[in-house]
Amino acid sequence: MFTGIVTDVGTLRALERRGDLRARIATGYDTSGIEIGASIACDGVCLTVVSLGEDWFEVDVSAETVSKTGLGNWAPGRRVNLERALCVGDELGGHIVSGHVDGVAEVVAVSDEGDSTRVRLRAPETLARFIAPKGSVALNGTSLTVNEVEGAEFGINFIPHTKEVTTWGDVRVGDLVNLEVDMLARYVARLAEAG
């Protein structure tokens, strides 16, 4: 489990395509404190550490994960939002995030509003019903509050701090981002269907 509070921005050093995808990610984390088998959210996708170096870790990305997320668009040099798994007693500053991405949203508009940046995204139709104004979503692993919703499109506001400590300062129209809808919204919808 994660909180959607990005704690490092890594850089993809290498990608190796086999049956699956192996990614080497440079990090500012102290890798001596990371165990093989640990979970790290990489752009919001919970991945398992399979190899470690002094300032990097490697993860394997299954073909299934590549098909359901934006990780198939990864290329060396890309910056990646990172978050280590939540430990008992950690501050829960965002919202509960599983790292199990539901789909990919597309950035359809970007505009500056003062020092902040307003971003409008289009969610897949099957996920749009789980997104509500003032609800939570995780986008590329970042816990965010939804401003407004119109059909399958929704708006997010990025404050300067978020743009500085995540990859969101680089956002452009046409970007595809990993979307995880709020777990509570999913369960409430399921209960409403059953009732």
pLDDT for the residue 79: 98
CA–CA distance, 110 with 120 (Å, rounded to integer): 6
Class of domain 103-194: mainly beta
Decide if 8-84 and 103-194 have a common fold: yes
pLDDT for the residue 90: 79
Place of tokens 């704690």: 7
Output phi, psi for 100, to 5 deg: -105, 95
* pLDDT, averaged in runs of 10, over the chain (195 residues): 95 92 97 97 98 97 93 95 89 85 97 96 95 95 97 97 97 97 80 75
The dihedral formed by the CA atoms of 84, 11, 13 and 30, expressed in degrees to the nearest 10 = -40
> Residue 78 half-sphere exposure, CB side, CA atoms within 13 Å?
19
The closest alpha carbon to 14, from 50, 63, 70, 56, belongs to 56
Pick the CATH number of 8-84 from 1.10.3720.10, 3.90.1410.10, 2.40.30.20, 3.40.50.300: 2.40.30.20
Domain ranges of the chain: 8-84, 103-194
Q: How many residues does the chain have?
A: 195
pLDDT for the residue 195: 66
Flag whether the pTM goes above 0.75: yes
Q: Which residues, in sequence order, are bridge partners of residue 137?
A: 144, 181
